[in-house]
């Protein structure tokens, strides 16, 4: 017999590898109300753990296999990774269960001929599951390769972070990327804070205060999406740094607001609420199906005055009016979200950073043309890479006159009354005046934002 949690985890991992799906999306679809809480927890742990630690798992498995894991049939590779992850990282699971159910997974995938191999490899791996992995890395291994193996990241990614951040900050970032991130939520109505939190606690959730915003909080012990507070629009699930980015616009009642790359729609609601019924709020995206999903979310949140527009924002924009506030939350590599989306680290290639840079610069240039005099624009990404961040801003501003980047004194305008006690606005900005968060320092995703104004 194979436990429900392992069946779900195996199927999610298969789809991530074979179909290019995102683990969080597939897990959300698979973990419906009929799945027991404990099964949902173990399935999530197995999926995210295997994806985060894939390189280290493969390194340890190849000591036994004497050939690359990549040469194995996918069902066999997944069963081995799941088994070894349980043996090495989940001490409460008996070794026998980890091994036997991995063998059964291979059989259920009609790879019975590989069952003996899986059984033998995992039984040998169980014998040294408590030996630190560092002991198996050859002493002469270069530091970027060594850190890449032990912290399970691509060597090219580790190498560029070492050059820019140094060894201490790089290790802190690698460690943060391998921890399960806080499940952060946004509270939409501060007046009902106590009532909403009481309802969430009654639903079995534990609540922790946010580290940046008064309106943010983290939950554990269950899924917020199964609560009445979520269904009625009192809360949304959103990383805390992501919640902070739209607040940098300092949107005022009656403003004309453009959210240019709006999907999946998490940053539009605070802009719409701040602009109010007298404002104009346009949320644009190039994909119709993502706009449809946003429309459903806005119904849940009772946002009725947001105008949804399908367009390619890298081309000249079709609007006949200028906007006081513009958010360009650009498509990016997502290297600031590797704890939440660990599969990205295995899909991303360094040459893609140049492709993102070209697209992002086009998006920013298009947006600047729609900014009204005296207006404010935010360019943001969830990337840690300069090519997608400050280099995009610098290139766009060099080729477009009449704009300037706001620095520290003005950058935090509008945040003062929204931050948690003891958090100063300037703590969110680097010496050059760019907004930055990192998983290691803030327990959030890694976000970047630049604030640009028009004279």
* Positions marked active-site: 382
The angle, 0 to 180 degrees and rounded to 10, between the axes of the packed helices 37-52 and 23-30 is 160
Answer yes or no: are the C-beta atoms of 39 and 3 closer than 8 Å. yes
Answer yes or no: are the C-beta atoms of 417 and 348 closer than 8 Å. no
The Cα–Cα gap between 388 and 417 comes to 30
Answer yes or no: are the C-beta atoms of 324 and 376 closer than 8 Å. yes
Answer yes or no: are the C-beta atoms of 380 and 451 closer than 8 Å. no
Write the DSSP symbol of residue 316: P
The Cα–Cα gap between 137 and 59 comes to 9
* Residue partners of 41: CB distance under 8 A and separation at least 6: 5
**Total length of the chain:** 455
Percent of residues in the chain assigned helix, strand, coil, to nearest 5: 50, 15, 35
Nearest to 372 by CA among 278, 270, 454: 454
- Token pair, residue 366, equals 């298009």
- Token pair, residue 93, equals 């699971």
List C-alpha distances in Å: 174 to 142, 171, 337, 338.
Answer: 17, 5, 12, 9
Answer yes or no: are the C-beta atoms of 364 and 442 closer than 8 Å. no
Answer yes or no: are the C-beta atoms of 290 and 263 closer than 8 Å. yes
Answer yes or no: are the C-beta atoms of 325 and 270 closer than 8 Å. no
Residue 62, number of CB atoms within 10 A of its CB: 14
First to last CA, the chain: 68
Q: What is the CA radius of gyration of the chain?
A: 23
């Amino acid at each position: 017999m194979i436990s429900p949690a392992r069946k779900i985890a195996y199927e999610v991992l298969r789809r991530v590898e074979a179909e290019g799906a995102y683990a969080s999306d597939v897990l959300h679809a698979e973990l419906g109300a009929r799945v027991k809480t404990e099964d949902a927890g173990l399935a999530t742990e197995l999926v995210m753990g295997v994806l985060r630690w894939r390189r280290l798992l493969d390194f340890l498995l190849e000591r036994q296999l004497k050939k690359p894991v990549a040469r194995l049939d996918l069902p066999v590779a997944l069963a081995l990774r799941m088994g070894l992850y349980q043996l090495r990282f989940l001490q409460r699971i008996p070794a026998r269960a980890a091994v036997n159910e991995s063998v059964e997974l291979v059989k259920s995938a009609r790879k019975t001929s590989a069952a003996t191999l899986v059984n033998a490899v995992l039984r040998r791996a169980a014998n040294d599951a408590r030996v630190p992995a560092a002991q198996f890395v050859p002493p002469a291994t270069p530091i970027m390769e060594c850190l890449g193996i032990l912290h399970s990241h691509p060597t090219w990614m580790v190498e560029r972070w070492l050059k820019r951040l140094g060894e201490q900050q790089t290790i802190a970032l690698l460690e943060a990327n391998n921890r399960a991130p806080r499940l952060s939520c946004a509270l939409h109505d501060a007046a009902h804070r106590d009532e909403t939190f009481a309802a969430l606690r009654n639903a079995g959730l534990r609540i922790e205060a946010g580290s940046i915003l008064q309106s943010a909080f983290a939950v554990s012990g269950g899924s917020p999406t199964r609560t009445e507070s979520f269904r009625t629009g009192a809360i949304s699930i959103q990383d805390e740094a992501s919640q902070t980015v739209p607040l940098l616009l300092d949107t005022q009642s009656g403003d004309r607001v453009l959210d240019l790359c709006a999907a999946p729609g998490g940053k539009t609601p605070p802009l719409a609420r701040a602009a109010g019924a007298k404002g104009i709020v346009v949320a644009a995206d190039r994909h119709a199906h993502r706009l449809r999903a946003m429309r459903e979310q806005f119904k849940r949140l009772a946002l009725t005055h947001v105008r949804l527009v399908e367009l390619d924002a890298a081309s000249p924009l079709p609007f006949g009016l200028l906007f006081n506030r513009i958010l360009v939350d650009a498509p990016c590599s997502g290297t600031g979200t590797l704890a939440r989306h660990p599969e990205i680290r295995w899909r991303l290639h360094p040459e893609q950073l140049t492709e993102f840079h070209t697209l992002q610069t086009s998006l920013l240039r298009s947006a600047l043309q729609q900014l009204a005099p005296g207006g404010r624009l935010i360019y943001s990404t969830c990337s840690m890479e300069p090519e997608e961040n400050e280099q995009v801003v610098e290139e766009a501003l060099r080729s477009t006159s009449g704009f300037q980047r706001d620095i520290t004194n003005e950058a935090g305008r509008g945040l003062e009354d929204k931050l948690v006690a003891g958090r100063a606005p300037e703590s969110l900005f680097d010496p050059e005046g760019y907004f930055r968060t990192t998983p290691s320092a803030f327990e959030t995703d890694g976000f970047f934002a630049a604030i640009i104004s028009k004279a």
